[in-house]
Amino acid sequence: MSMNIIGAAAAQKSVLGMLIDDHCEAEALFKEFKLANNNAQKHAIVQQACLALTEHAEIEEKHLYPYLRDADPETFSHLLDEAKVEVSSARDLIALLKNMKPGDALYDARFTVLEKFTNQHISEEEGGVFPKVISQGIDLQELARPILEAKKLSIRAQARYHF
Ligand SMILES: [Fe+2]
C-alpha cells in the first residue's frame, strides 16, 4: 500500500517533470529568438521551437489528456477542451512558420503570437491542470513509461543520437 503511494508520487513527479521541462525549453527558445542577431539564428530557433512544440503537443494529446479525461472527467473535461482548441490554433501557426523564412511578411508576428499561445498553455497547465492532478491524487504510473518512450523516439532525440 505505502509502496503504491510512493510509486504514485514518483510517477506524478516524473511525468509532470518531463512536461514542465518541455515548457522550460520552449520558453528558453522564445527568449533566444529575441536575442538572435541574424536570420540564420532566427530560422534555426523557429524550426527548433516548432518541432519541440509539435512533439510536446503530440505527447500530451496522445497520452496525458485522454488519461486525465478518463480518470476524472468532471475535473478535467472542460480544461482539456480549451487546451484542445488552443493547441489547434498553435498548430496552424506552426504549419505556416515551418514553410517561412526570416524576413517574410508576418514571420516575427506569427512567432510572437505562437509565444503568447505557448505562455497561455504553460500557465493553464502549470497553474491549473497539473496542480489538479496532484490535488485529486491522479495516479500517473501507467503514463510514465509511454511518455518516456515517446520522448526517446522523438525526432529531436534521434537527431541528438545521430549527430
Ligand atoms: Fe504542456
Residues with CB under 5 A from ligand 1 (ion): 125
Section 145-154 average pLDDT: 90
Ligand 1 centre distance from Cα of residue 123 (Å): 9
**Extents of the domains making up the chain:** 2-162
Ligand 1 centre distance from Cα of residue 121 (Å): 6
* pLDDT of residue 51 exceeding 70: yes
pLDDT attached to residue 154: 83
Which of 144 and 2 is assigned the larger pLDDT?
144
- Rounded Cα gap, residues 118 and 103, in angstroms: 23
Section 141-159 average pLDDT: 85
* pLDDT of residue 93 exceeding 90: yes
Ligand 1 centre distance from Cα of residue 35 (Å): 24
% of the chain beyond a pLDDT of 70:
93
Section 25-41 average pLDDT: 96
- Rounded Cα gap, residues 19 and 125, in angstroms: 10
Instruction: Encode 140-160: b = buried (16+ Cβ within 10 Å), e = exposed.
Output: beebbeebeebbeebeeeeee
pLDDT attached to residue 6: 74
pTM over 0.85: yes
Condensed to tens digits (0 to 9), the pLDDT of residues 10-30 reads 999 999 999 999 999 999 999
Ligand 1 centre distance from Cα of residue 119 (Å): 10
Cβ-based burial of 33 (10 A; exposed 0-12, middle 13-18, buried ≥19) = buried
pLDDT attached to residue 8: 85
